[in-house]
Amino acid sequence: MNSKLTQFAGALVQPIVAVLLALLIGALAIFLVGGSVMETYAEMWKGAFGSFYFVTNTLSRATPIILVGLGTALAFRAGFFNLGAEGQMILGGLCAAITALYVPGPGWYKLVLALISGIVAGGIWSAFAGWMDAKFRMNLLITTLLLNYIASLFAGYLVAYPLKDTTGSAAMAQTKMIDQSAWLPKLFQGMSLHAGFLIALAGAILLFLFMKYTVSGYETRMLGNNPLFAAYGGVQRGKLMFYSMLASGGFAGLAGAVEVLGTQYRYLDGSLSTPGYAWSGIMATLLAGSHPLGTAFAALLLAALQTGGMGVERNTEVPLEIASVIQATLILFVSAKLSYSFLKRRKARAQSGTIS
């Protein structure tokens, strides 16, 4: 138990060091643009956690990031690259909006169906890339990335023409507004935080339990760890790949659905891609080394950085982009960890290679 604790603490040291270094570089950047470092960081903290309103705001922003991160983490754990979270999220959000708008029935029924349709849409989009890998040996890295453009432009077309909301005065590329009965309920009166956050937390815990305690989770991890070992032991790669890509895309689709049903109440072109939820989610996964609970935590951290950055922009002369600088350096330092552990492994291998 004790060794587990130290192991866990050991796993935390690197990310914490990375965060501190990133804040240091951020301080340098703030200094260079002529801002006061302490004041800027104080504003950043206030913007993220300064009051109950800002805390809920941060949590609300974290919601889609957590879900996307979980999906990416699942795929990474199985040894597959899913960089298509953005497209999967957009299709999930779009399908959720269409379902909630056009399926008849009571509100809760529409809501549940819309969430499911979001998961299915994202899942299918991602599994499609998996299928192309299995069938035509097309590299997942490339297909998942490029499918983003198809999804985003296709959704843009739909809301600009056939599904365009013509009722309002604003000539925006967006669907009609979903009926209030099918909205995800807000957790607190007057705050932006909605029930999607609880879904995301439950997702993180479920994924953690799944990976750790189930046979399929075990097989998924082994497949990611050493595909040959998995094949040798009778793990069916094709099947697992299909299901893990399906689930991975499902999480991203759910992220889109939750955002549409809890915050936007319609699909608005660009509303899911402009804030960069999908890429933040992938970064959260990288930060946490694909650990489900760690991913949720990292997502929260990134969301806080972003909402904090907005606070900085509102109240100081320092531009919003300072948050991006910190975020980017953070990722750099985390990738330094990757290569660092890679080096260690090579060293270990060289040692075991000569042990006789």
φ, ψ at 268 (rounded to 5°): -110, 130
Window of 66-74, 145-153, 287-295, 348-356 that interacts with other proteins by CB under 8 A: 348-356
Q: How far is the CB of 130 from other proteins (least distance, A)?
A: 18
Task: Name the DSSP class of 182.
Answer: G
Q: Is residue 346 part of the contact set for other proteins (CB under 8 A)?
A: no
φ, ψ at 194 (rounded to 5°): -125, 175
DSSP string for 226-278: -HHHHHHTT--HHHHHHHHHHHHHHHHHHHHHHHIIIIISS-BTTTTTTTTHH
With respect to other proteins, which residue has the nearer C-beta, 45 or 218? 218
Q: Do residues 265 and 177 make contact, with C-beta atoms less than 8 angstroms apart?
A: yes
Rounded CA gap, 273 and 260, in Å? 12
Task: Name the DSSP class of 276.
Answer: T
Q: Is residue 14 part of the contact set for other proteins (CB under 8 A)?
A: no
Window of 135-143, 153-161, 174-182, 342-350 that interacts with other proteins by CB under 8 A: 342-350
Q: Is residue 2 part of the contact set for other proteins (CB under 8 A)?
A: no
Window of 20-28, 100-108, 280-288, 344-352 that interacts with other proteins by CB under 8 A: 344-352
Rounded CA gap, 99 and 353, in Å? 58
Q: Is residue 78 part of the contact set for other proteins (CB under 8 A)?
A: no
With respect to other proteins, which residue has the nearer C-beta, 4 or 32? 4
Binding other proteins (rule: CB under 8 A), the pick from 10, 106, 185, 353 is 353
Rounded CA gap, 291 and 205, in Å? 11
Q: Do residues 250 and 120 make contact, with C-beta atoms less than 8 angstroms apart?
A: yes
How buried is residue 140: exposed, middle or buried, by Cβ count under 10 Å (0-12/13-18/19+)?
buried
With respect to other proteins, which residue has the nearer C-beta, 7 or 51? 7
With respect to other proteins, which residue has the nearer C-beta, 166 or 354? 354
Q: How far is the CB of 227 from other proteins (least distance, A)?
A: 9
Q: How far is the CB of 248 from other proteins (least distance, A)?
A: 19
**65, HSE (Cβ side, Cα atoms, 13 Å):** 30
Q: How far is the CB of 128 from other proteins (least distance, A)?
A: 24
Q: How many residues bind other proteins (CB under 8 A)?
A: 30
Binding mask 201-240 for other proteins (x = CB under 8 A): ------------xxxx-xx-xx--xx-xxxxxxxxx----
Q: Which of residues 236-255 bind other proteins (CB under 8 A)?
A: 236
Rounded CA gap, 317 and 331, in Å? 25
Q: Do residues 41 and 23 make contact, with C-beta atoms less than 8 angstroms apart?
A: yes
> Which residues in this chain contact other proteins in the complex, by CB under 8 A?
3-4, 213-216, 218-219, 221-222, 225-226, 228-236, 345, 348-349, 351-356
